[in-house]
Structure 1
Amino acid sequence: MKKLLLPTAACAAACLAPLTAFAHPHIFAEARMEIIEGADGNVQEVRNIWRFDEMFSASVVLDYDKNSDAKLDKEELAEIGNTVHESLAEYSYYTFIAVNGKNIDFNKPDVIHVDYKDGQILMFFSVMPKNPLPVKGKLSFGAWDPTMYTAIDFAKDTDIVVKGPHLAACKHKVVRPDPDEIIAQNQSSLTDAFFNDPTGTDMTKLFATRLELQC
């Protein structure tokens, strides 16, 4: 996760900083997203679950295993969560919610929970819209890194789910853009975007898997 997270012992923070030359993933995470409807019929929260690749997870253990027991205890896991909580704020916690094509604001998660199982780091957190978010119009939900340093992958369409009667009644579509088609259709604008703002650009959403609801 570039500078947001963990300087590995091998390359330290500079190695993790987003650069134009790094316009492809170096960290990989399998994701699940749950969109939860509240009792008032509005979208109440969006829950994220990320499982990181073993190589990256090993670097996390190397950096945060303060007592050198080859595992992460409760305090070490909490330190990771606190670091990510601070660092991901400027990247919208890799979480994007839109209504009729316009991104909406949400509150910072209260906490990012971290676990370590079977050689992989897991992170869990929820975000809540700042203002009431009715289940109507065209809603879009996704998770991606604007700098493209981290690849967040929904392996199955069922890894993005809705919970609630009004959400369930909407027309659902999981969008999985074809990268070759996106590049071919937007080559000049993509090149300009990455060179002008290598720390992140809205153009990255063109590549992202997302759930679209028509309500």
Structure 2
Amino acid sequence: MFWMASVAHAHPHMWIDAKASLGFDAQGRLAAIHQTWRFDEMSSVYSLQGLAKDKQGQYRPKDLQSMADDWVAALGEPQSHYFTRVAVGGKSLAFGKPRKASVKWDKAAGRLALSFELPLTQPVQAKVADIDIYDPTFFVAYAFEDKDAVTLDGAPAACTSQYRPPRELDWKTLQRLAAIPAEQEHLPEELFAITQSLTHRIEVRCS
């Protein structure tokens, strides 16, 4: 299942505190989506198992960079495709090769954070653009809770963004998801029909 082994026993298996910065070019066009995903403590510790430390007890930068490169490469697979969709007029836009991938370890918090940037193959100048970030299999649960979780970088003054969280799941659906074992990669059809709609949407409007 996608790019990091699971350590939990239910859906979701992993929790991510996310941030997204929408980058604009000199012509005022939406050009890239820079994201930072901060993993929960259990997933972070599990991912670091077997990774050597230096004499100062720190993880080596080259090893963390290798981890970042591997994760971003796996995220590019068709099933996940970076868990990100940018659409204008209902049409999905294509991404170029990811860049600026890095992994940082916060020892005090006990959490890893992956950062990467998705450039659009063709920057777009549009009055309306929608960015969806989500895992339709609900293997990963995202949260955009920080006040600066969504920002615009280099946007024209006439552009604004609004974050819309997914709807909350009812208790019965949550119980059914929690009963699914970690080794089961695919959700039952009726549950998948629900979870694939749990998008974290960022609406960009330029007047």
**Fold shared by both chains (TM-score > 0.5):** yes
Shift, 1:106, TM fit: 0.7
Distance in structure 2 (CA, Å) of the matches to 1:105 and 1:202: 24
Give the equivalent residue in structure 2 for 1:149: 139
Q: Which of 91, 110, 122 is the equivalent residue of 1:131?
A: 122
Give the equivalent residue in structure 2 for 1:35: 22
Shift, 1:157, TM fit: 5.4
CA RMSD of aligned residues (A): 3.1
Note the alpha carbon deviations across 1:59-99, whole angstroms, 9 max, x for none: 11114337798642112202211210221101121222111
Give the equivalent residue in structure 1 for 2:3: 4
Give the equivalent residue in structure 2 for 1:120: 111
Distance in structure 2 (CA, Å) of the matches to 1:194 and 1:55: 23
Deviates more, 1:106-115 or 1:39-48: 106-115
Distance in structure 2 (CA, Å) of the matches to 1:3 and 1:172: 30
Give the equivalent residue in structure 1 for 2:43: 56
Distance in structure 2 (CA, Å) of the matches to 1:162 and 1:141: 12
Change in Cα spacing, 1:95 to 1:66, as seen in structure 2 (3 Å) is same
Question: Can you give the 5+ residue segments of structure 2 that lack an aligned partner in the other structure?
Answer: 174-185
In the TM superposition, what are the counterparts of 1:82-121 in structure 2 within 5 Å?
A: 82-90=69-77, 91-117=80-106, 118=108, 119-121=110-112
Note the alpha carbon deviations across 1:35-63, whole angstroms, 9 max, x for none: 01110111121110111111111111114
Distance in structure 2 (CA, Å) of the matches to 1:76 and 1:42: 35
Q: How many residues get paired?
A: 189
Larger RCO (CA under 8 A, 6+ residues apart): 2
Shift, 1:149, TM fit: 0.6
Shift, 1:148, TM fit: 1.3
Note the alpha carbon deviations across 1:105-132, whole angstroms, 9 max, x for none: 1112135201101311011111111113
Asked if 1:76 is matched to 2:67, the reply is no
Change in Cα spacing, 1:40 to 1:72, as seen in structure 2 (3 Å) is same
Distance in structure 2 (CA, Å) of the matches to 1:3 and 1:174: 26
SS of the aligned residue for 1:213 comes to strand
Contact 1:157–1:174, Cα closer than 8 Å, also in 2? no
TM-score, normalising length: structure 2: 0.76
Change in Cα spacing, 1:66 to 1:39, as seen in structure 2 (3 Å) is same
Contact 1:66–1:76, Cα closer than 8 Å, also in 2? no
**Higher strand content, 1 or 2:** 2
Distance in structure 2 (CA, Å) of the matches to 1:65 and 1:147: 32
Contact 2:161–2:204, Cα closer than 8 Å, also in 1? yes
Change in Cα spacing, 1:3 to 1:139, as seen in structure 2 (3 Å) is closer
Contact 1:61–1:70, Cα closer than 8 Å, also in 2? no
Give the equivalent residue in structure 1 for 2:198: 207
